[in-house]
Amino acid sequence: MDLIPVMKPYLGDKEIAAAAAAISSGWVAQGPRVAEFEARFAEHVGAAAAVAVSSCTTGLHLLLHAHGIGAGDEVVVPSLSFIASSNAPRYVGARPVFADVERTTLNMTAASIEAVLTPHTSAVIAVHQIGMPLDLDPIRKLCDARDVLLIEDAACAIGSTYKGTLVGSGPNDAAFSFHPRKVLTTGEGGMITTNDPAFATRLRRLRQHAMSVSAHERHEADAPVIEAYPELGFNFRMTDIQAAIGLVQLAKLEAMVERRRELATAYTERLAAIAGLEVLRDPEYGTTNYQSYSVIIDDPYPLSRDELMTALHNEGIATRRGVMASHREPTFADDAHPVLPVTDYLADHTMILPLYHEMTESDVDRVVAAVATAAV
Ligand SMILES: *Cc1c(COP(=O)(O)O)cnc(C)c1O
């Protein structure tokens, strides 16, 4: 019996050749391929500029730092997210404040954010959870009215759309992830998009120790250059080997998103016959890239989420629990938080089914049959 993994990156000979070419060139750290990846990514998403970083986590950290968020500030985030969303404010000395989410998209809403705003709120990190776009316009209106910074955690949302434009096209800054668990991968890596080219220049300096001149600029210069360090900076750089892989992946992105949506449609059609299973659909204002295919399991389905995960495991089918809830983790045990009923419900009742580019419709049939059989 073949095992069905929950996710498998779609990498091939072209990525291997591109990585090899970067190595052969002798320039393996951040250099011309990173610059090209940034330009292509910005062009693809429809943002004025893109800034490559070492991960989405460091991208969020850098954005908060560069926008001056720090001690005494509160940053609204969903607890229902990968823990990086909640940790980012802590890196700059700010306090994450958890907002609840809605069941239909797993995302925060303007109302759930408004419920936790205080005079200390300085920023909101709006997460497009598992690629499902959140309804940005009402959130933007709320933030603008209160002079609160809005940034997007688009870790999972490359290729998702909001009102006909790709997530990350602005006007807010957004951070993407290229971890293999996401749709487009460079092994590790991330990208910030912004509609402010001057701010992009500042982010590029801050990600490399705030050096006044980059290693590549110095290499290209026709006279020796002595750099300066005018402020605190970081090493959040991407390598040219990663960027070489990213350029190949970017060319495959539309096909990867299309295939994910086809397979998700196959799941949705087939799972409709099973009582007690609830699927996620596109909201009326946008489309998801189905970075993960998440289902809610509840009565009258006879097994609990954890029991179903075990049953599928025994059939050679890998699953994951649904999105985690940060407020339940020991690292946040000392923080007061509001009651989060939808978050708590979803953390206990959601599960992620296998979905990857090279999956077949008959693999989907096998997963759905196993879910149906486990119920009898
Ligand atoms: C994966 C993920 C991150 C972290 O991305 P890295 O590139 O691994 O740092 C942040 N936020 C969300 C919502 C994620 O799913």
Residue 352, φ and ψ in degrees, nearest 5 = -105, 125
Does ligand 1 come within 6 angstroms of the Cβ of 153? yes
Q: What is the pLDDT of residue 110?
A: 98
pLDDT tens digits in sequence order for the chain, 376 residues long: 789 999 999 999 999 999 999 999 999 999 999 999 999 999 999 999 999 999 999 999 999 999 999 999 999 999 999 999 999 999 999 999 999 999 999 999 999 999 999 999 999 999 999 999 999 999 999 999 999 999 999 999 999 999 999 999 989 999 999 999 999 999 999 999 999 999 999 999 999 999 998 888 888 889 998 999 999 999 999 999 999 999 999 999 999 999 999 999 999 999 999 999 999 999 999 999 999 999 999 999 999 999 999 999 999 999 999 999 999 999 999 888 999 999 999 999 999 999 999 999 999 999 999 999 999 8
- Compute the chain's Rg from CA coordinates: 21
Residue 60 Cα to ligand 1 middle (Å): 9
Please, which residues have CB within 8 angstroms of residue 92's CB and are 6 or more apart in sequence?
61, 64, 65, 69, 70
Tokens of 325: 């809830």
- Say how far apart CA 57 and CA 81 lie, in whole Å: 12
Query: What's the pLDDT score for residue 179?
Result: 98
Q: Is the shortest distance between the CB of 191 and ligand 1 below 6 Å?
A: no
Distance 301 CA to ligand 1 centre (A): 31
Which atom of ligand 1 is closest in space to residue 181's alpha carbon?
1
SS3 letters for 123-171? EEEEECHHHCCCCHHHHHHHHHHHCCEEEEECCCCCCCEECCEECCCCC
Q: Which of 3, 2, 7, 1 has its CA nearest to residue 352? A: 7
Annotation says 182 is catalytic = yes
> Hey, what are 67's tokens?
């926008």
pLDDT in the model for residue 320: 97
Annotated catalytic residue: which of 8, 141, 163, 182?
Answer: 182
Strand 277-279 vs strand 293-297: parallel, antiparallel, or unpaired? antiparallel
Q: What is the Å distance from ligand 1's center to 249 Cα?
A: 18
Q: Which residues does 191 contact at the CB level (< 8 Å), separation at least 6?
A: 37, 38, 41, 50, 51, 52, 53, 59, 175, 176, 178
CA of 222 to the centre of ligand 1 (A): 40
Residue 159 near ligand 1, beta carbon < 6 Å: no
